[in-house]
A and B are shown apart, each in its own frame.
Chain A
Amino acid sequence: MYNFDYVKASSVADATAALGGDAQAISGGQTLIPTLKARLGQPSSLVDLSGVAEMSGITAGDGSVTIGGAVTHHAVSESGDVPASVAALAAGIGDPAVRHRGTIGGSVANNDPSACYPSACLGLGATIHTSGGDVAADDYFQGMFDTALGEGQIVTGVTFPTPAKANYQKFVQPASRFALVGVFVSQMADGYVRVAVTGASESGVFRWSDAETALAGNFSADVVPAAPSADGMIADLHGSAAYRAHLISVMTKRAVAAC
């Protein structure tokens, strides 16, 4: 790791004042520290968001819940206020030591194409709160490792609407334990269906609209379409593009059946 200055932020205002230029945010460090060890980055300073009180709570609202950006996966997994599908997703990230440090803000900001949280955000139609304003999940995720965050902006929290039904199914990549393919399915009280897929596409998390249309008419695993086209799917030593496309259909069926 190249050296950097360490800055502990105590508020969002404090953090954004210290960011910009070559400064970079750090939350749990579970992704960033290994990246810096590989010398894939050389920030002048790291601004630690983990102690920012405004980003540390889980607040139940009317028909929704807001999770602060600095809340750990462990805290989400134990919370009775978040939808059970989101708590279960958080409980399946990495291992206990990773969950004790890794944060929702770090995961959503990083937008790893195999990460779990982006699928919950897109699959529930969440609102991403940033230091630059609120962004709908549909507009926020803009491709692999790419988001609507502007330079020096941070994710301060995420608001999830409460679904009538929801479930996340993750096919674990055997080495990294990230999602080889993960599918988050939800149905709102008004019948609106979302199907969000992570791990599969070279464009990052996406909504599988054919499955959404089929499920909106009849929310049953039987109507989930066969595998979508393998064009643009990730192919690597863990699975071919066609294998991932096939898994999308399988995991969607399992998620619907488990709702």
Chain B
Amino acid sequence: MPTVSMTVNGKSVSGEVEGRTLLVQFLRDHLSLTGTHVGCDTGQCGACVVNVNGDSMKSCNMLAASADGAEVKTIEGMANDDGSLGVIQQAFQDNHGLQCGFCTPGMVMTADDLLARNPNPSEVEIREYLEGNLCRCTGYHNIVKSIQAASAAMTAGE
């Protein structure tokens, strides 16, 4: 079985995987990082979005072997160093950006990717960037508000 090594949330990790092992399986089953969710397993819903080498990607639609050597960031890497909620996470809590929370890890990781590229996105830009992230609960308005609040907090904190 091939061995894969990567950096996940700043820590070097490695493990033996099958060719068919998905990145999300490696994160959840091998590393016990179960914050990354599997909603559809068909590449549609975005619950499994993580950041790989600076880009958001659907970890259910990617082989663990393809992430060999990569820098991966998951929802577990979004908290502050002291364990308190990071800016985006806090904004989701403050703005009721989640109900059941199933889609939330993917929403937060997609928001993180968007804000890294575009620190002050318009409402339309936020909605467009969430094209691949489905939420069955919130109706999206509060997710958009959360991301606007995170953007404002990050800009103010600079």
Q: Give the bracket for the number of chain A residues in contact with chain B.
A: 20 to 34
> Quick one: which of A2, A6, A36, A95 contacts B132, CB cutoff 8 A?
A95
The A/B interface has a contact count, at CB < 8 Å, of 74
Stretch of A43-51, A183-191, A245-253 on the interface side: A43-51
| B-chain residues with CB within 8 Å of residue A95 when the two chains form the complex | 46, 131-133
Return the CB mask of B116-138 against A: 1 if under 8 Å, else 0: 00000000000001011100000
Known interface pairs A50-B66, A96-B131, A97-B49. Does A30 touch B61 (Cβ–Cβ under 8 Å)?
A: yes
Q: In the complex, how many angstroms separate the beta carbon of A94 from the nearest chain B beta carbon?
A: 7
Q: In the complex, how many angstroms separate the beta carbon of A237 from the nearest chain B beta carbon?
A: 17
Known interface pairs A5-B19, A34-B42, A46-B19. Does A29 touch B61 (Cβ–Cβ under 8 Å)?
A: yes
Return the CB mask of B19-61 against A: 1 if under 8 Å, else 0: 1101000000000000000000111001001001001111001
The A interface, classified by DSSP as helix, strand, loop or mixed, is mixed
Pick from B19, B113, B131 the residue with the most CB of A within 10 Å: B19
| B-chain residues with CB within 8 Å of residue A46 when the two chains form the complex | 19, 63
**Inter-chain contact B19/A98, CB cutoff 8 Å:** no
**Complex-state Cα separation, A131 to B54, whole angstroms:** 31
Return the CB mask of A1-15 against B: 1 if under 8 Å, else 0: 111111010000000
- A101 near B: Cβ within 8 Å? yes
| B-chain residues with CB within 8 Å of residue A5 when the two chains form the complex | 19
- B2 near A: Cβ within 8 Å? yes
- B62 near A: Cβ within 8 Å? yes
Residue of A nearest to B58 (CB): A97
Known interface pairs A29-B66, A30-B61, A97-B110. Does A177 touch B18 (Cβ–Cβ under 8 Å)?
A: no
**Inter-chain contact B49/A29, CB cutoff 8 Å:** no
Q: In the complex, how many angstroms separate the beta carbon of B129 from the nearest chain A beta carbon?
A: 6
Known interface pairs A6-B2, A95-B131. Does A33 touch B65 (Cβ–Cβ under 8 Å)?
A: no
Return the CB mask of A115-131 against B: 1 if under 8 Å, else 0: 00000000000000000
Known interface pairs A8-B65, A34-B61, A101-B62. Does A96 touch B20 (Cβ–Cβ under 8 Å)?
A: no
> Quick one: which of A3, A26, A33, A74 contacts B55, CB cutoff 8 A?
A74
Interface CB pairs A-B, < 8 A, 30: A3-B18, A3-B19, A5-B19, A6-B65, A26-B63, A26-B66, A29-B62, A29-B63, A29-B66, A33-B62, A33-B63, A34-B42, A34-B43, A34-B61, A37-B42, A46-B19, A50-B66, A94-B131, A94-B132, A95-B131, A96-B110, A96-B113, A96-B129, A96-B132, A97-B57, A97-B110, A98-B61, A100-B56, A100-B57, A101-B61
Q: Measuring CB to CB, which residues of chain A are less than 8 angstroms from any residue of chain B?
A: 1-6, 8, 26, 29-30, 33-34, 36-37, 45-46, 48, 50, 74, 94-98, 100-101, 177
Q: Measuring CB to CB, which residues of chain B are less than 8 angstroms from any residue of chain A?
A: 2, 18-20, 22, 41-43, 46, 49, 52, 55-58, 61-63, 65-66, 68, 110, 113-114, 129, 131-133
